[in-house]
């Protein structure tokens, strides 16, 4: 199911209540421009389904190539676009944790209408949203976690539960230790951006600013995850790059130890970064088969190996 852009009036009519809270009557249709590759996608294939949930400040673009690979192996994959995502981070103003959860739940409902069994895969913050769904739906066959979120990258983020009401924006470009991550994010949106252009450099601090309320909502998701991990009893696969600058790689081991399931596997990749499933990271050649094998071994269906994917 492909999300499409719509006008602001239609968006608030269909998605918001009179109090401004998002309603879950339909898949999220952003009231701002989102390029085709960052919109929600579905690759319809076999009766085994995988719900993919992207991370904070991410979008479906990060998992599209892997999803196509899985669909070629008879796995149907659906990835929704989380509210406020797919464009510059300023679009997350006013979005709440409940909105992200609701969109994940809608994505699961979409996949249920197409598949006989479902696995959930999440990246970064999406792993916690996936854990929430898995805990509430005991028929989920397994949970795949790519660079899972355990704690926010800085303990100072905890202060935003108060300061979000007084300081509306955080400017990561102004902090040296965050500039590399910020640069990766902006170049993902605008690959042809000239970072040596003085006008671009003057524009970057504002373009990359992040709403403090959105960061605090991400912090709430991380807090939720630490309550969920011990309660999960379904099979789990954890994949973590040790050069990750967005989450602390050591925290994935804490999640592994906390999980309540006996069927759990952790793979660490010494030279991989945060987006270890994307084709620009060579380790994706290991990640994709590991994900497929995890699903194949725990599926109640005989998965086909002949490519027969279609894009919906």
The pLDDT score that the predictor gives to residue 180 is 85
Could you tell me if 54 and 63 are in contact, meaning their C-beta atoms sit under 8 angstroms apart?
yes
Q: How far apart are CA 239 and CA 235, in angstroms?
A: 14
Residue 12: is its pLDDT beyond 50? Answer: no
3-state helix, strand, coil in the chain (%, to 5): 45, 15, 40
Task: Say whether pLDDT at 88 is over 90.
Answer: yes
**Residue 291 pLDDT grade (very low, low, confident, very high; cuts 50, 70, 90):** very high
As a whole number, the mean pLDDT across the chain is 88
Q: Is the pLDDT of residue 103 over 70?
A: yes
The answer to whether position 284 is within a domain reads: yes
- DSSP type of residue 22: B
Q: What is the pLDDT of residues 189-224, one digit of tens each?
A: 998 999 999 999 999 999 999 999 999 999 999 999
What pLDDT score does 21 carry?
43
Phi, psi (deg, nearest 5) at residue 247: -130, 155
Three-state SS sequence of 42-86: EEECCCEEEEEECCCCCCHHHCHHHHHHHHHCCEEEEECCCCCCC
DSSP 8-state secondary structure symbol assigned to residue 288: H
Are the C-beta atoms of residues 247 and 218 closer than 8 Å to each other?
no
Distances from the Cα of 241 to the Cαs of 68, 138, 180, 219, in angstroms? 22, 29, 17, 21
Average pLDDT of the segment spanning 84-98: 96
Answer yes or no: is 193 within a domain: no
Percent of the chain clearing pLDDT 90 (strictly above): 75
How far is Cα 283 from Cα 273, in angstroms, rounded to an integer?
9
- The lowest-confidence range among 38-47, 106-115, 139-148, 299-308 is 299-308
The answer to whether position 1 is within a domain reads no
Residue 190 lies in a domain: no
- Average pLDDT (270-275) is 95
Q: Which domain holds residue 298?
A: 8-171+209-311
What would the pLDDT profile of 131-158 be if each residue is shown by its tens digit?
Answer: 999 999 999 999 999 999 999 877 778 7
Q: What distance in Å separates the CA atoms of residue 180 and residue 172, rounded to the nearest whole number? A: 10
User: Domain for residue 3, yes or no?
Assistant: no
What pLDDT band is residue 311 in, cutting at 50, 70 and 90?
A: very low
Which segment of 1-10, 245-254, 262-271 scores lowest on mean pLDDT? 1-10
Residue 192 domain-assigned (yes or no):
no
> What is the structure's pLDDT at 304?
56
What is the rounded CA–CA span in Å between residue 173 and residue 168? 16
Tally of domains in the chain: 1
Report the CATH number at residue 69. 3.40.50.1820
In a domain, 200, yes or no: no
Place 181 in a pLDDT band, splitting at 50, 70 and 90.
Answer: confident
Residue 115 lies in a domain: yes
pLDDT of residue 303: 67
Question: Please, which pLDDT band fits residue 312 given cuts at 50, 70 and 90?
Answer: very low
Cα separation, 234 vs 14, in Å, equals 35
Give me the helices (H) in the chain, please.
8-15, 64-72, 97-112, 125-136, 160-163, 176-189, 198-207, 212-228, 249-258, 284-298
Strand order in the sheet with 41-44: 264-269, 236-241, 143-146, 117-123, 48-53, 75-79, 41-44, 310-311
């Amino acid at each position: 199911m492909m999300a499409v852009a719509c006008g602001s009036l239609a968006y608030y009519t269909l998605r918001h209540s009179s109090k401004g809270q998002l309603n879950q009557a339909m898949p999220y249709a952003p009231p701002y421009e989102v390029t085709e590759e960052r919109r929600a996608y579905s690759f319809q294939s076999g009766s085994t389904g995988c719900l993919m949930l992207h991370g904070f400040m991410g979008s479906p673009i990060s998992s599209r190539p892997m999803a196509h690979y899985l669909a070629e192996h008879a796995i149907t994959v659906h990835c929704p676009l989380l509210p406020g995502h797919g464009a510059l981070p300023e679009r997350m103003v006013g979005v709440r944790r409940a909105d992200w959860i609701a969109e994940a739940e809608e994505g699961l409902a979409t996949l249920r209408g197409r598949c006989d069994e479902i696995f959930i895969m999440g990246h970064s913050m999406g792993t916690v949203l996936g854990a929430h769904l898995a805990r509430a739906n005991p028929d989920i066959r397994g949970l795949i976690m790519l660079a899972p979120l355990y704690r926010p990258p800085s303990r100072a983020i905890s202060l935003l539960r108060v300061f979000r009401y007084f300081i509306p924006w955080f400017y990561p470009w102004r902090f040296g230790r965050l500039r590399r991550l910020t640069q990766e994010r902006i170049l993902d949106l605008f690959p042809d951006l000239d970072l040596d252009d003085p006008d671009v450099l003057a524009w970057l601090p504002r373009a990359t600013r992040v709403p403090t309320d959105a960061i605090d909502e991400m912090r709430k998701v991380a807090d939720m995850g630490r309550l969920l991990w011990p309660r999960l009893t379904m099979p789990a696969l954890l994949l973590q790059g040790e050069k990750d600058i967005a989450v602390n790689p050591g925290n994935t081991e804490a999640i592994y130890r906390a999980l309540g399931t006996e069927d759990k596997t952790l793979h660490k990749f010494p030279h991989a970064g945060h987006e270890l499933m994307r084709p620009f990271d060579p380790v994706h050649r290991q990640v994709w088969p590991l994900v497929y094998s995890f699903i194949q071994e725990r599926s109640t269906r005989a998965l086909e190996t002949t490519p027969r994917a279609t894009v919906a």
